Structure 1
Amino acid sequence: MKIYFKAIFYYFFIIFCIASMQFIGGCAQIGVPVGGPKDTIAPMLTKANPTFGSTKVTNNTITLSFDEYIDLQDLQQNLIISPLQNKNPTITANPKSITIKFKDTLLPNTTYTINFGNAIRDFNENNITKDFTYLFSTGKTLDSATISGKVLIAESGGIDSTIIVLLYRNAVDSTVKNKKPNYIAKLKGDGSFQFKNLPTANFKIYALKDADGGKTYNTKFETFAFLQTEVSSTTNENVLLYAYAEEKAAENNNTTSITKKNIDKKLKLQTNIQSTKDLLEPLEISYNNPLKDYDFSKIYLTDTFYKKITTAKYSLDSTSKKITLSHIWQPETTLILIIEKDAAADSVGNKINKTDTIRFTTKRKEDYGRITLRFNDLDLFKTPVLQFLNGETVKYTYPLTSKEWSNSMFPPGEYDIRILYDTDKNGKWTPGNYTKKIQPELGVTIPQKLSIRADWDNEQEINL
């Protein structure tokens, strides 16, 4: 009987434990907090010492307090202090505050702005306090003059938002090459800029793609822009700057450093002849090694009866690795290119293994499209040139003498088009020259893309 009673006791005890666990678990589920909405509000300034917009400031330490925990990210890329400091201030971030300690002596009667860009964010959700700027003056009043404008890439009319704008007070032409500016502004996405809280004065203004971070124009390879005259902070006119690089960075094709060790042991060649030869492009023969000796008389075209064609013209490019053969190609014509074994040799005497004979046929006229473009608001007095581009590469260039242009045989494909105002009439874009005070030629990229279909009449109206 005792055993039976004990078994019943254990039975009810187990049921009680299971029920208790279920009850507790159920209660726990009910009590789990579901959480509130996600924080989307950026940190806000609650207090500043000195107060925001203070005048007659003499203290070189500033403290900014915020309403929540903050984090400073990419401060070096975002921070702009105007006027520019010779010695960078010490900036420290505490949980809810930022302290700035100036190392330079504050200038008298000067308005200072500290722009943090997008550096200030809340600690938890990374919400950005966009373009946060603190302002104070060492004088009796806050300066309020502004200079606004836009920077465009001269050749294309495009925008490079990594360019900065430099403002110099009491400067000569050479100052931009050896001294940092007084004020700096960054471009917005549309290429515009604005300097605020400037003193009433005249300034020299420049734009620079500052590759080395020096904030000075010290190489002709840097993208740069200048204004011919000073600009006044009292005028309301927008400044327009056209940026250019006076020289393009040279490609790494210096043949003078080539030695026997880095020359291929066999001389090889290839051509740009596809299944059919383009009627509008020259024939190109590319070698794997730079050529030292060559004889164009041993590279020639013939007809199918091996009769030489003597009207072709030859040239060797600056790398000494590409021979260009120019000729007026006739449609649907079969030709033979012959490159004799000893037509060329590289610097160690290598030649191709044997005479190369390439038979090819030129394209049909029907493989090309017919195109007519009509331009609205085209200024013919500025010597406009029509350029067709694939990406950044100018493929075809045509001077424009009227507001309608047509071509009866144009390569099919997708193109961007650009109008270049060719003031020096050399058929290509010419950059500016700061030393000679020459502005760059201007190009206007047309937003419309052209799609040229073969054996088709392609017509389009272009608005400039």
Structure 2
Amino acid sequence: MFAFLMRAKNILLAGLLLVAVAAVLFTETGCASIVPPSGGPRDSLPPVIISVMPENETLNFDAKEIKIEFDEYVELNDIYKNLLVSPFPRIMPEVSRKLRTVTVKIKDTLQPNTTYVYNFAKAIKDLNEGNQGKDLLYVVSTGSYIDSMELSGNVRMARTGRPDSTLSVMLYNNLDDSAVVKERPRYISRVDSTGTFFFRYLAPGQYRLYAMKDESGAYMYNGEQIFAFADSVVTIAEAPPTPIRLWAYEPEKKKEETEEEVEVDEKEKRLRFKTNLEASRQDLLSALTITFEQPLKVFDTTKMHLSTDSTFKPITGQRFTLDSTARVITMNMNWMEDTVYNLVLEKEFASDSLGRQIFKQDTIMFRTKSRTDYGQVRINFVDVELERHPVLLITQGDQVKDAFTIPANRIIDLQLYNPGEYDMKILYDTNQNEKWDPGAFFVEHRQPELINSIDRKLVVKPDRTEDFEIKRGRGLPVNPLR
């Protein structure tokens, strides 16, 4: 009885204490706020294998089913695209998951005395946070030993010098060039964010090495993907070969002359066009272009007259051309600076495929720029390797504005250059045609030409002369791409 009363007393005292604390909090804050409990830090750890049956590195493997248990609930991540099996099977295994367990049912007939590697790294992720697995390799052998040879390397894009983490790297034990088109590889790996690849558990032998962007999962080259190839056969022996650098390229797409689709108002009877003038100013270094909505059926240069004064007295020296689409007229001219020009177009100077003409004689009036509108630039390439036929590419975005072969004195002078901020790159122009050429695998076995990015901006200001000194460690990489 005494114990019961003491317990009741204690409960009563505890209740009064809670009431007092609540009253104090309410008095100090004016109101009571309820704070939900914290969920704790976000789980950033990838799922980890805690058991697998049969065991990893099992010899004389002949099982038809593999069960893998993880330390947390997992789900499959585009399994038939992301699961890599080497050697590549004719029939991919059937994969399913339930809670923490992934089951792999082998459908293919395994080759004798062969080491098999199942790479689940991108194929498994945890259920809640989506963390992908890392280094989830399951290795078994149908023989009495596990192959242990290795091969590593790096893949970069020849045109930019940057890695592409979407590429796959492949080894073929069929050394014929046609194998990459007709059959799947023996071994597959993926590059990481730095372009590095690493093969483990390889069998000794000779292989062809390729890299490719394969979005279909077929792992066969169709001639249109991003592609890279090693110049010579790779020999896998006791001592690992030196890491191999591959240069990937995207084949040039064949240019097809197609008419640009333009909405045509059939009721519109006037011939419409536009020029490349900017605020009625003509660049001293460029041609004047006139672009039409539809191809021209009639084009008469005798009805186009150029003059430089208010009397419209014609001048000569201009040359008109019509491009292959019959939509663009180009007028080339040695322009005089800061000069007003009048281009008079007679009514009959042109008509398009719908028979439309301008309603009456028209005049395009414009003024050329002054020399002071441009900047002057001198670029001195201190230690660029002339024997590699370097070409300076001046770019904005993905567009190459100009290309200049670097001369013997390593100095390029730009007398008149449009103000702006530009990127600079060095093209190592193997065939000396002043443009980048991709590789050609079949027949020629020609590697792509390489481009070095210069880590300095070319800033051109109007009526200013700028001097740039480019050398290794100051613009050029210390070790230019090879």
Is the CA contact 2:262–2:293 (under 8 Å) kept in the aligned structure 1? no
2:289 equivalent to 1:284: yes
What's the offset of the Cα at 1:264? 7.2
Q: Does the C-alpha gap of structure 1 residues 97 and 302 become closer, same or farther in structure 2, counting only changes over 3 Å? A: same
Partner of 1:310: 316
- What's 1:100 paired with? 104
Q: How does 1:101-250 map to 2 (within 5 A)?
A: 101-219=105-223, 221-234=224-237, 235-248=240-253, 250=255
Shift, 1:168, TM fit? 1.0
Give the AA of the match of 1:446: I
Determine the C-alpha separation between the residues in 2 that align with 1:289 and 1:421. 41
1:232 positional shift: 1.8
Q: Describe the superposition over 1:230-261 as per-residue Cα deviations: whole angstroms up to 9, x where unpaired.
A: 1122342222222223322647x624999999
Contact 2:429 2:449 in 1 (8 A): yes
Q: How far apart in 1 are the matches of 2:247 and 2:268?
A: 45
Residue in 2 aligned with 1:433?
A: 440
Counterpart residue type for residue 235 of structure 2? S
User: How much has 1:225 moved relative to structure 2?
Assistant: 2.0
Who is 2:401 aligned against?
A: 395
In 2, distance between residues paired with 1:359 and 1:318?
27
TM-score by length of 2: 0.83
Match of 2:466 among 448, 458, 464: 458
Question: Residue in 2 aligned with 1:354?
Answer: 360
* Whole-angstrom distance in 1 between the partners of 2:203 and 2:263: 60
- 1:380/1:100 CA distance change after superposition, 3 Å: same
Deviation string 1:71-96 (CA, Å, 9 cap, x unpaired) is: 22333443211122222210011111
- Residue 369 in structure 1 maps to residue 368 in structure 2: no
CA RMSD of aligned residues (A): 3.1
Which amino acid is the alignment partner of residue 319 of structure 2? Answer: K
1:74 aligns with 78
Q: Which runs of 5 or more residues in structure 2 are unaligned?
A: 1-14, 23-32, 477-482
Cα distance change, pair 295–195 in 1 and its aligned pair in 2 (3 A): farther
Structure 1 residues 363 and 248: alpha-carbon distance in aligned structure 2, compared to 1, 3 A threshold: same
What's the secondary structure of 1:176's corresponding residue? helix
> Structure 1 143/255 Cα, relative in aligned 2: closer, same or farther at 3 Å?
same
Question: How much has 1:451 moved relative to structure 2?
Answer: 2.0
- C-alpha separation in 2, matches of 1:262 and 1:233: 69
Q: Distance in 2 between matches of 1:291 and 1:303?
A: 27
The residue that corresponds to 2:480 in the other structure is none
Query: Residues 362, 246 of structure 1: CA spacing in aligned structure 2 closer, same or farther, 3 A cutoff?
Result: same
The alpha-carbon distance between structure 1 residues 449 and 295, as it changes in their structure 2 partners (threshold 3 A), is same
Which amino acid in the other structure matches residue 462 of structure 2?
A: A
SS at match of 1:245: coil
What amino acid does structure 1 have at the position aligned with 2:433? Answer: N
State the alpha-carbon separation in 2 of the partners of residues 47 and 334 from structure 1.
83
CA deviations over 1:253-284 (Å, ceiling 9, x no partner): 62499999999765310001112211122211
Q: Which runs of 5+ in 1 are unaligned?
A: 1-18
Which residue does 1:321 correspond to in 2? 327
Aligned partner of 2:344 in structure 1 is 338
Aligned length: 442
The Cα shift of 1:116 comes to 1.9
2:69 is aligned, of 55, 65, 79, to 65
Change (3 A) 1:107 1:331: same
Q: Is the 8 A contact 2:375 2:464 kept in 1?
A: yes
Name the residue aligned to 1:6. Answer: none
**One-letter identity of the residue aligned with 1:151:** V
| Cα displacement (A) at 1:99 | 0.9
Query: Matched residues in 2 for 1:355 and 1:224: separation?
Result: 55
**Matched position secondary structure for 1:308:** coil
Contact in 2 for aligned 1:112/1:135 (Cα 8 Å): yes
Residue in structure 2 matched with residue 405 of structure 1 by the alignment: 412
One-letter code aligned to 1:53: E
Contact 2:375 2:461 (8 Å CA) reproduced: yes
CA–CA separation in structure 2 for the residues paired with 1:105 and 1:263: 70
Identical-pair percentage? 38
Q: Aligned pair in 2 of structure 1 residues 147, 294: CA closer, same or farther (>3 Å)?
A: farther
Look up the match of 1:7: none
Per-residue deviation at 1:222?
2.5
Q: CA deviation at 1:412?
A: 1.1
Cα deviation for residue 36 of structure 1 reads 5.1
Q: Please give the alpha-carbon distance, in whole angstroms, between the structure 2 residues aligned to 1:113 and 1:307.
A: 82
Which residue does 2:90 correspond to in 1?
A: 86
For 1:337 and 1:106, locate their aligned partners in 2 and report how far apart those are by CA, in whole Å: 78
